[in-house]
Amino acid sequence: MKIAWEATGGTNTGRRRQNNEDSLLVDAEHGFFVVADGMGGHAGGEIASALAVQTAGEILARGGDAKAALREAVTRANAAIFDFAARNPRMRGMGTTLTACVLDPSGVMNLGHIGDSRAYRFRNGVLEQLTVDHTWVQREVDAGRISAQAARTHALSHVITQALGVDENDTPDILEDTALPGDLLLLCSDGLTGMVDDTQIAELLAVEAPLPELANTLIRTANVNGGVDNITVVLVRVLSGSS
């Protein structure tokens, strides 16, 4: 089935942080979307996420095989961050998550993912998390040692086990799925998901409203619920394409 799409994105510093270390890219023309959540002091986080998004954008804009492009985007972004940190010793320890979605008019969706930003699909009123967090608590949940609910409020909930700039050999999860007309795709940083649980995200996405309004509502709700971290949201609505 042929698909088309519309997309929007927004980011907000939140209510506690002084700077915004998240970066995003919405390229509706080429059909790719990226969210990155940086970490590291001395502006390292801001630079890491910006480098990752910029590098990924350059690779993904070339088109070609989406999975190969996503792998290359992660490899190149990782190298760019290591290179920058090597030349700027104060920036050592800088890193970033990266979650990227590539849509094809044929209806194939590919995701590349590393870290604890997330991709969700909202279909027929049901919200499904497509990515798995690369976090210590997710490992514990997978091993059955703690519950998903306990993981949300766990003291170590922010400890990431994989990120760009941390391990030169880290490889992303690559996931392929089908996008159907009517789907809403959400890419977001943990500044959203730490403040707004899946039930509330689903309620907010169920509202009939233009995409930018939905994105604003998600960000506003994260701030109402505390806004302790930077909040980034990319929303993609899948439409019927001309056959």
**Shortest Å distance, C-beta 230 to Ca ion:** 6
CA distance 106 to 230: 34
Q: What tokens does 242 get?
A: 């001309």
- Residues near Ca ion, by CB under 5 A: 37, 189-191, 229
| Residue 160 vs 205, nearer CB to Ca ion | 160
CB of 222 vs Ca ion, minimal distance in Å = 11
Rounded least distance, CB 21 to Ca ion, Å = 7
CB of 14 to Ca ion, least distance (A): 9
Q: Minimal distance in Å, beta carbon 60 to Ca ion?
A: 22
Closer CB to Ca ion, 39 or 238, in the complex: 39
SS (H, E, C) the chain: CCEEEEEEEEEECCCCCCCCCEEEEEECCCCEEEEEEEECCCCHHHHHHHHHHHHHHHHHCCCCCHHHHHHHHHHHHHHHHHHHHHHCHHHCCCEECEEEEEECCCCEEEEEEECCCEEEEEECCEEEECCCCCEHHHHHHHCCCCCHHHHHHCCCCCCECCCECCCCCCCCEEEEEECCCCCEEEEECHHHHCCCCHHHHHHHHCCCCCHHHHHHHHHHHHHHCCCCCCEEEEEEEEEECCC
Smallest distance from Ca ion to CB 173, Å: 19
Residue with Cβ nearer Ca ion (72 or 190): 190
CB of 30 to Ca ion, least distance (A): 26
Do 91 and 85 meet the contact criterion of CB atoms below 8 Å apart? yes
Distance CA 126, CA 205 (A): 10
User: Whose Cβ is closer to Ca ion: residue 75's or residue 232's?
Assistant: 232
Given the complex with Ca ion, which of 31 and 40 has the nearer CB atom? 40
Q: Which is nearer to Ca ion, 110 or 135 (CB)?
A: 135
